[in-house]
Structure 1
Amino acid sequence: MNQRNNYTQLEDFLEDESFKLWVYFNEDEQGWEEWTLENPARAKLVEKGRQLLLAMKIPNSSFSTSTIQAALNATWDKIEIKEEKNINKKSILKPWKNKWITQVAAIFIVGFSLVWVYDKYLTKYDSVLTYNELLKENSGGLVEQTNNDDKPQIITLSDGSSVLLQPKSKLSYPKIFIGNQRKVYLSGEAFFEISKNPQKPFLVYANEIVTKVVGTSFKIKAYANQPDVEVVVRTGKVKVKSNQLIANSNHQEIVLLPNQALRFKRENLTFNKITDITQDEALNNSISNIEQLGFEFTDIPVSQIFKTIEQAYLVKIDYQHTKLKDCYLTTSLGDQPLPEKLKIICQSIGNNTSYEMNGNQIIIISNGCN
């Protein structure tokens, strides 16, 4: 297992059986994923090895027999020219009379083919920024939250903003936002509800894109192993542009309004703005509870309001049912972060009502309605 720490060439990975099992069958007994993420430079080499293995599974229908034969002839001509420059200038046998030389030339062609496939289909991801590379650019200390659970996790930031972090996702953020911007870093998928502060814009760095808001709710889907990065706006206004660390990309800002989305295509580093998400089948099918449930309540039992919040955020709210069974509220919670929603509800109930929040567990403390 420690031997791979010395891997410096693609061949080292391609000859490793455990690496092949990880790439082809997602078997990770050797901890390839964690080992890869430990080092950004290593991650690039691992990704190239992974892509080459996947390329080998592409049906070999691109090269005809005549094409390969011509390439072999051209290869041999180059070998002859090089040999003629040698001091001894030995006579050279034709490759077709030398089985070993033919095999060498064939290996060259196979290698050339793989490089051609890699350049044509796979190098489009060379400019993909990884989560670790973005963190490397950040000089300050950050807190990292990783969701290894099978359900979303709620994260409350120091400015009151809330983030619903999906499984297999990571979010890095400062304990306290300082300076004139609020920056966080995402790998995976999350739904954001940002506390309004026009003087201090909120920026989400998610691989190739940067999303800028001052107070709104939106979703970002930015998994490193998927071809697209998506931003979907629920309320407010969002500005999206490509990260300045990306070469050959357009840094123009795209403005998104409610029910609009943007799809960044890694293949050619282009943006595709979607003015109505209901017309996009993929986006329409991926809408979560928090994106479609309403938070406008008119004379509604507080128990029903709590149930709506539980469904939207996938949290558990504990409260004394007997004390709050006759409580009815009229309120508009809109795009406020979860802590702000809970604060408004508690103030509306009155009688020194408060809440405590521990991860996805919420406890309401109250003596009953006013």
Structure 2
Amino acid sequence: MKKRSQYREIEDFLEDESFRLWMRSKKDVDGWEEWTLEHPKRAKLVEEARLWLLAMKVPNDDLSQEEVDVALQNAWMKIEKRERESKMEIQLIQLWHTGWFRKIAAIFVIGLLSFYAYTKYFTAEQLYYDYSQIVKGLDEDGLLEQINNSNRPQIVTLSDGSSVLLQPKSKLSYPKVFTGNERKVYLSGEAFFEISKNPKKPFFVHANEIVTKVVGTSFRIKAYANQSDVEVLVRTGKVKVNSEKNVDKTSQKEIVLLPNQALRFMRKERTFDKITDITTEKSISNSVRSIEQLSFEFTDIPVSQIFKTIEQAYSVEVDFPVKKLENCHLTTSLSDQPLPEKLKIICKCIGNNTTYTMNGNQITISTKGCN
């Protein structure tokens, strides 16, 4: 056997049992570590032999020359494979540094991202059916549109005497005059409706994917385009809620709501959740507004106090001659009346040719005093 000082090839180290023992079990019985340090020129060869030995994964220490050759061949095949992979990586890196390849790669990545965005967002949004889609193509009917871009509610008075308290960031489309045997309006956002009674001419509110049908009642609808749910809450009377797709058909999904009941429509799932007691739903009960809480039943109440109640409920300002009405008390029920009807009843009760005018959220009372 050759002496270590005569080792010139990797095979020489691999055939050495003590070298293999040192490499595999760290048992340096023959001082390999010291020898390597004393012969720094052979350190690289020792390291290569170690790597080959690891690559061969020889199961025992009794190696014949034939076994060494087979092991070396297997190791060489592994090394060639690694070199090919390394060259491929280098070629890819070089290719990446070419301008045209980067452009193609960028287009490919953008395409993938666009496809992902389309499937995740655009396709998902097609599940929704909102205000813009509903009113599209209805301009020929001469719809008016009220958009509330202010930070306070706005009163909208409809041609039939119904009133709508439109909340900020909300829109309402409605005809200048209701014709035919139906009254239809279109909502995006939130609004409180007080509908004048007319059994022969039902009132419909289209809000996202649902339609609310009433004859004469007061209720609130919350239907923002970017929110996943639509909510309907009834204060007085009775409403029927249906899916927009089933509005012209007889549907078992029609939901009837009575006072202090609510409904939540989950837009993605297209399912209804009826809430028979709104006090059990914190999200709904906490959102109840002044107009839904205040009582409009008045018994011998100063007219000034009645006007304050109206101001608080509708976020309006009522200008009236305080001195002329300071001793005026009224007893009346205004609970199930739209705002214009409330004002008419108050003016009739005051008498003396009392009238009102309404300009946006400003109400002016003209009177000579209380009867």
Alignment TM-score, normalising by the size of structure 1: 0.68
Range 319-328 or range 266-275, more displaced: 266-275
After TM superposition, list the pairs within 5 Å mapping 1:52-91 onto structure 2. none
After superposition, the CA RMSD in angstroms is 2.6
Q: Which residue of 1 aligns with 2:125?
A: 125
**Structure 1 residues 328 and 208: CA distance shift in structure 2, 3 A:** same
**Structure 1 residues 330 and 278: CA distance shift in structure 2, 3 A:** same
- Does 1:184 pair with 2:166? no
Alpha-carbon separation, structure 2, partners of 1:98 and 1:167: 57
Paired residues of 1:164 and 1:191 also in contact (CA < 8 A): yes
Paired residues of 2:193 and 2:219 also in contact (CA < 8 A): yes
**Structure 1 residues 348 and 278: CA distance shift in structure 2, 3 A:** same
Q: Give the deviation of 1:123 after TM superposition.
A: 3.6
Alpha-carbon separation, structure 1, partners of 2:279 and 2:120: 34
3-state SS of the aligned residue for 1:244?
Answer: helix
Alpha-carbon separation, structure 1, partners of 2:88 and 2:149: 56
Alpha-carbon separation, structure 1, partners of 2:255 and 2:347: 38
Q: Give the deviation of 1:133 after TM superposition.
A: 1.6
Q: Give the deviation of 1:131 after TM superposition.
A: 1.6
Look up the equivalent residue of 1:131 and give its one-letter code: Y
3-state SS of the aligned residue for 2:335?
Answer: coil
After TM superposition, list the pairs within 5 Å mapping 1:126-145 onto structure 2. 126-138=126-138, 139-145=140-146
Paired residues of 1:242 and 1:251 also in contact (CA < 8 A): no
Point out where structure 2 has 5 or more consecutive residues left out of the alignment. Answer: 1-86
Percent identity over the alignment is 66
Q: Give the deviation of 1:140 after TM superposition.
A: 0.8
Q: Give the deviation of 1:293 after TM superposition.
A: 0.5
Paired residues of 1:243 and 1:251 also in contact (CA < 8 A): no
3-state SS of the aligned residue for 1:134?
Answer: helix
Alpha-carbon separation, structure 2, partners of 1:323 and 1:142: 41
**Structure 1 residues 106 and 306: CA distance shift in structure 2, 3 A:** same
Alpha-carbon separation, structure 2, partners of 1:285 and 1:169: 20
Alpha-carbon separation, structure 1, partners of 2:232 and 2:306: 28
Alpha-carbon separation, structure 1, partners of 2:244 and 2:294: 32
Q: Which residue of 1 aligns with 2:209?
A: 208
Paired residues of 2:128 and 2:268 also in contact (CA < 8 A): no
Q: Give the deviation of 1:113 after TM superposition.
A: 7.7
3-state SS of the aligned residue for 2:133?
Answer: helix
3-state SS of the aligned residue for 2:128?
Answer: coil
Point out where structure 1 has 5 or more consecutive residues left out of the alignment. Answer: 1-93
Q: Give the deviation of 1:125 after TM superposition.
A: 2.7
3-state SS of the aligned residue for 1:188?
Answer: strand
Q: Which residue of 2 aligns with 1:197?
A: 198
Range 99-108 or range 183-192, more displaced: 99-108
Bigger Cα Rg: 2
3-state SS of the aligned residue for 1:345?
Answer: helix
Alpha-carbon separation, structure 2, partners of 1:127 and 1:152: 30
Q: Which runs of 4+ in 1 moved over 6 A?
A: 94-97, 101-111
Look up the equivalent residue of 1:133 and give its one-letter code: Q
- Does 1:242 pair with 2:255? no
Alignment TM-score, normalising by the size of structure 2: 0.68
Q: Give the deviation of 1:168 after TM superposition.
A: 1.0
3-state SS of the aligned residue for 2:332?
Answer: strand
After TM superposition, list the pairs within 5 Å mapping 1:346-357 onto structure 2. 346-357=347-358
Alpha-carbon separation, structure 1, partners of 2:207 and 2:238: 18
Q: Give the deviation of 1:252 after TM superposition.
A: 2.2
Q: Which residue of 1 aligns with 2:269?
A: 268
After TM superposition, list the pairs within 5 Å mapping 1:278-289 onto structure 2. 278-289=279-290
Look up the equivalent residue of 1:276 and give its one-letter code: D
Paired residues of 1:125 and 1:267 also in contact (CA < 8 A): no
- Does 1:163 pair with 2:194? no
3-state SS of the aligned residue for 2:230?
Answer: strand
Q: Which residue of 2 aligns with 1:321?
A: 322
Alpha-carbon separation, structure 2, partners of 1:185 and 1:206: 6
Paired residues of 1:241 and 1:251 also in contact (CA < 8 A): no
Q: Which residue of 1 aligns with 2:232?
A: 231
Q: Give the deviation of 1:95 after TM superposition.
A: 8.2
